[in-house]
Amino acid sequence: MSERAVLHVKGRVLVGPEEVRDELWVVGGRISYDRPVGARDVRTVEGWVLPGLVDAHCHVGLDRHGAVPEEVAEKQALTDRDAGALLLRDAGSPSDTRWIDDRDDLPKIVRAGRHIARTRRYIRGYAWEVEPDDLVAYVAREARRGDGWVKLVGDWIDRDLGDLSACWPRGAVEAAIAEAHRLGARVTAHCFAEDSLRDLVEAGIDCVEHATGLTDETIPLFAERGVAIVPTLVNIATFPGLADGGEAKFPRWAAHMRRLHERRYDTVRSAHDAGIPVFVGTDAGGTLPHGLAADEVAELVRAGLPPVEALAAGTWAARKWLGRPGLEEGAPADLVVYASDPRADVRVLRDPRRVVLNGRVVG
């Protein structure tokens, strides 16, 4: 399309779960609900329209070994784009991906800087590894480097204990979260197990990734404080394989991982039913491939979320949570077109008919 071209999108435009319009126009890369006067070079696409999907936990610029070259990061971002995920929250990466911001053909990214972990308590090559006395300084550094988020590693295997355990003393996370908030950043944390959650929530954390360790005791606390979770169920599906691989050396840890996996759907459903905000995230970019946002929406439905609410967790609600627009008048035209109503069957998300990014049809 030329710079003067107009895109006419018609069918059923899902502005929100209940707000449906018959058409929208894309002029100069932005959404309009008014037909442009004297429009020329009009291209029309038809179908069921959603704002671009959100993957609120992925890692562009990262693979199982650490930082990757730019050409690999580009392929990761393109894979997400072609699957309809046009807004990504990069939940920790050692790579500098700011160059992506200059590319109007790649998804928009909200970065959390680099992971911050306890020394020798995370995957090698991923995180800044520090001790509690240095946590505040590193949180301040990543708050300035990110896009309004900081990522902590809240728990990991303790090799002496042979099981998952919390990484940080209460006082350290309280000071670190307070510093991030002072700098205008929200804080999230990787947490598989149970024992780090109360301290993090009472210290003021904004979100927890995975959150497989939620219990009847901590779910009400999360709900009361409005702490969101990003369950990454497509990643939690790998727990049995991880347990099998580590059982000989860490049998206690392996048994714990299996228990967390077995109750994963019950945990997410209980969290949702209690009113905890739940958002779509895949954990792509470590060991998982990109492009799995649709699979995660389907996993939330399997966990018991109503389809419309699972859809919202990866579209309207997620965009609002991240402070990014959806299909509002004047917003960048980032949208995906499907052949049928995704509210009726979320599996349609796996097969986008058209992907429009910044007003251009890119897929």
Pair 164, 24 in one domain: no
Does 178 fall in a domain? yes
Per the structure, the complete domain to which residue 150 belongs is given by: 53-321
Measure the CA–CA gap between 178 and 182, rounded to whole angstroms: 6
> What is the tens place of the pLDDT at every residue in 112-163?
999 999 999 999 999 999 999 999 999 999 999 999 999 999 999 999 999 9
Does 191 fall in a domain? yes
Does 1 fall in a domain? no
Does 203 fall in a domain? yes
Pair 206, 71 in one domain: yes
Pair 167, 196 in one domain: yes
- The one-letter amino acid at 96: D
Q: By 3-state DSSP, what share of the chain in percent is helix, strand and coil, each rounded to 5?
A: 35, 25, 40
Query: Would you state the pLDDT for residue 1?
Result: 43
We report the CATH number of the domain holding residue 198 as: 3.20.20.140
Instruction: Examine the pLDDT at 315 and tell me if it is beyond 50.
Output: yes
Question: Tokens representing 22?
Answer: 């018959």
Query: Would you state the pLDDT for residue 345?
Result: 97
Q: Which residues pair with 278 in a beta bridge?
A: 229
Instruction: Examine the pLDDT at 96 and tell me if it is beyond 60.
Output: yes
Residue appearing with tokens 């392996």: 254
Pair 214, 330 in one domain: no
Pair 202, 294 in one domain: yes
We report the CATH number of the domain holding residue 352 as: 2.30.40.10
Question: Tokens representing 326?
Answer: 């959806």
Instruction: Examine the pLDDT at 6 and tell me if it is beyond 50.
Output: yes
Pair 330, 201 in one domain: no
| Contacts of 54 by beta carbon, 8 Å cutoff, 6+ apart | 85, 87, 88, 89, 279, 280, 293, 314, 315, 318, 319, 322
Query: Would you state the pLDDT for residue 5?
Result: 78
Instruction: Examine the pLDDT at 4 and tell me if it is beyond 70.
Output: no
Is 0.85 topped by the overall pTM? yes
Pair 259, 123 in one domain: yes
Query: Would you state the pLDDT for residue 20?
Result: 96
Measure the CA–CA gap between 249 and 247, rounded to whole angstroms: 5
> What is the tens place of the pLDDT at every residue in 264-288?
999 999 999 999 999 999 999 989 9
**Confidence band, pLDDT 50/70/90 cuts, at residue 206:** very high
Query: Would you state the pLDDT for residue 363?
Result: 87
Query: Would you state the pLDDT for residue 199?
Result: 97
> What is the tens place of the pLDDT at every residue in 19-67?
999 999 999 999 999 999 877 788 999 999 999 999 999 999 999 999 9
Pair 58, 194 in one domain: yes
Query: Would you state the pLDDT for residue 3?
Result: 45
Pair 163, 69 in one domain: yes
Does 185 fall in a domain? yes
Measure the CA–CA gap between 77 and 102, rounded to whole angstroms: 13
**Confidence band, pLDDT 50/70/90 cuts, at residue 2:** very low
Pair 14, 59 in one domain: no
Measure the CA–CA gap between 332 and 223, rounded to whole angstroms: 33
CA angle 108, 109, 111 (to 5 degrees): 165
Pair 70, 200 in one domain: yes
Measure the CA–CA gap between 17 and 198, rounded to whole angstroms: 33
- The one-letter amino acid at 284: A
Pair 268, 293 in one domain: yes
Split into its structural domains, the chain has a count of 2
Measure the CA–CA gap between 243 and 249, rounded to whole angstroms: 10
Query: Would you state the pLDDT for residue 179?
Result: 98
Does 74 fall in a domain? yes
Question: Tokens representing 340?
Answer: 């049928």
> What is the tens place of the pLDDT at every residue in 240-259?
999 999 999 999 999 999 99
Q: Round the average pLDDT of the chain to a whole number and report it.
A: 96
Phi, psi of 346 (to 5 degrees): -70, -15
